[in-house]
Structure formats: C-alpha cells, structure tokens
Amino acid sequence: MSETGPTSRCGFVALIGAPNVGKSTLVNALVGSKVTIVSRKVQTTRALIRGIVIENNAQIILVDTPGIFVPKRRLDRAMVSTAWSGAHDADLVCVLLDARAGIDEEADAILTKLAGVAHPKILVLNKIDLVRREKLLALAGSANERLGFEETFMVSALSGDGVDDLRLALAGRVPEGPFHYPEDQMSDAPLRHLAAEITREKIYRHLHQELPYQSTVETDTWTERNDKSVRIEQTIFVERDSQRKIVLGKNGATIKSIGASSRKEIGEIIGQPVHLFLFVKVREKWGDDPNRYREMGLEFPKE
C-alpha cells in the first residue's frame, strides 16, 4: 500500500472524557502497543500523547487528552486548556463515558461544553463488562439526547471487547489524504518522553498516596551503546526535601525498586537492554516554572 495512494485516509481523533474513564487504556488497546501512561491515579496524562493506528488504508492519529475536570492549580488549568484545544484541533472527537459512573457531574459538564465543538462526535461507553445491558442502553439514550453523536460504541478497553469495531469505524471516518507518519511509527512522542512517563508511572505505583502530584521526571541523556544497549539518565524533580526522602526510601530501597520496574518496561518497549540511572532533586515551585510546562507539551497559563 502506498502512503500517497488516492484512497488513503489520515486524520486526528481526540479522546475526550473525565479523569479515569479509561482514555489511555483505550489508546493502548487501539494501537496494540503501550504508548501512554496508565495509572490508577487520576491526572497521569499531562500532554497530548499520540498513538498512531494503521487500519486498512487509513492512518488514525489518536490524541489522548488529559482528563477534563475542575481546575484548581496552575498545572490543572494548563491540562484542561490542552484537553479542549485537542478537541477543537481534531478531525473527529471520541467522547468517553464510564459506563458505571454514567452522566455524573463531570460528564455533564463535558457534554455541555462539547456542544460548542463543531467536529463530528462519536460516543464510546467504556467498562461495559461491569454494567448490566439495560443500564448501558439507557445511558446511551440519555447521552444521545444531549448531543448529536454520529455513532455509539460499547467497549471494554481493558479486555479489548468492542475495540476492533471502534477502530474500523474511526478508519472509515477520518478524511481522505496521505499518511502523516511512517507506517512503522507507533507514537510520535519521543522515546525520551515516553521513558520519563513510564518512570513517573512507577513512582505513583510504588508510593500511592505518599507523594503528591508535584513531581515530574525528565530524561537527561539517552545514549546508544556499542553493545546495542541504551544508557538512560533521568532526574525526578520534587518540590521539597521531605518528598525527596520519600522517593529515595530507606537506604535507597524505594528508588531502586522504581528504577528496576521502569528499566524492565522501557526495555520491553524499545526491544533493547536498558541501563537506567535515576537521580532525585528538589526544584522548589517547579509548578510555577514556564519551562517545565513547555517540556511537558503544555501551554503555561498566565494566571
């Protein structure tokens, strides 16, 4: 198949929804490869990380936006602004609802605001394996009364149920045109960024409630070695010395565990042995530093 064939299709599909509706899990299921960070905690997706799907003659570029919620901090405002810009810039919008939660306060606010987005919209009810069929049909009916959805899909992103049908529908709906990315490129998020996201995910997994969200990870160096392995150095930034001690753990045990988990997963994704070196530094009030936002792919809110 030629990238520039007359029948090829290519377009951007934004996934919009409240925190924890399963957007990142759905991106990974559609792509068939882990391209976005998945965590039980809310607000793990900060920037517009794209997964790229090839289906028949179509290239679908998935924009996994941060969950839309009521912003309190400057970082929150940047994430919500980024999410809505993703909806307005896409060719097609997929609205994800948690089938268990239904149209709660967050979903209600999203449906109200989406009325001002002109692009075609598809409704995706996720986590259908946890809900009775009668409730699913009632939820689909209520949502379609609110917005003119072109189609409705019921999926379980975790099990993969219904994902193939959704992928085929998206392939048929993106506009005609040449591919934007090489066919073998699964994500345009640089590997450095993906590696940092993986380490950040492991921090949350290991520390749960102990560490607040004022932490970020940056990949400082990425060196391809002669033996086909990769040496990666990353810095974990926190806002206070007490947080630094939590990340390090007693005798460095916690950071060793985080590093081992991250190294294993990065190695599996890039298919090469990884030597990972983690450092923890205090950077006070990094949440107010415009440079940090740029590195995460976010606009810095002025207020």
Q: Where are the domains of the chain?
A: 9-172, 191-296
Q: Is 291 annotated as a binding residue?
A: no
Do 191-296 and 9-172 fall under one CATH topology? Answer: no
Q: Is 226 annotated as a binding residue?
A: no
Q: Which of 14-28, 34-48, 78-92 is predicted with the least confidence, judged by mean pLDDT?
A: 34-48
Does the pLDDT of residue 287 top 90, yes or no? no
CA distance 202 to 257: 9
Fold held by 9-172: Rossmann fold (3.40.50)
Q: Is 128 annotated as a binding residue?
A: yes
Does the pLDDT of residue 183 top 90, yes or no? no
Please state, in angstroms and as integers, the Cα–Cα distance from residue 230 to each residue in 150, 162, 219, 270, 271, following that order: 46, 37, 13, 10, 10
Q: Is 129 annotated as a binding residue?
A: yes
Q: Is 144 annotated as a binding residue?
A: no
Comparing 132 with 240, which gets the higher pLDDT? 132
Q: Is 126 annotated as a binding residue?
A: yes
Which residues are CB-neighbours of 6 under 8 A, at least 6 positions away?
Answer: none
Mean pLDDT, residues 186-195 taken together = 66
| C-alpha triplet 29, 16, 184: angle, nearest 5° | 40
pLDDT digits (tens, 9 = 90+) for 102-118: 998 888 888 887 887 77
pTM above 0.75, yes or no: no
Which residues are CB-neighbours of 206 under 8 A, at least 6 positions away?
Answer: 254, 257, 258, 261
Q: Is 90 annotated as a binding residue?
A: no
Q: Is 16 annotated as a binding residue?
A: no
The pLDDT of residue 263? 94
Q: Is 190 annotated as a binding residue?
A: no
Which CATH number applies to 191-296: 3.40.50.460, 3.30.70.360, 3.30.300.20, 3.40.640.10? Answer: 3.30.300.20
Does the pLDDT of residue 19 top 60, yes or no? yes
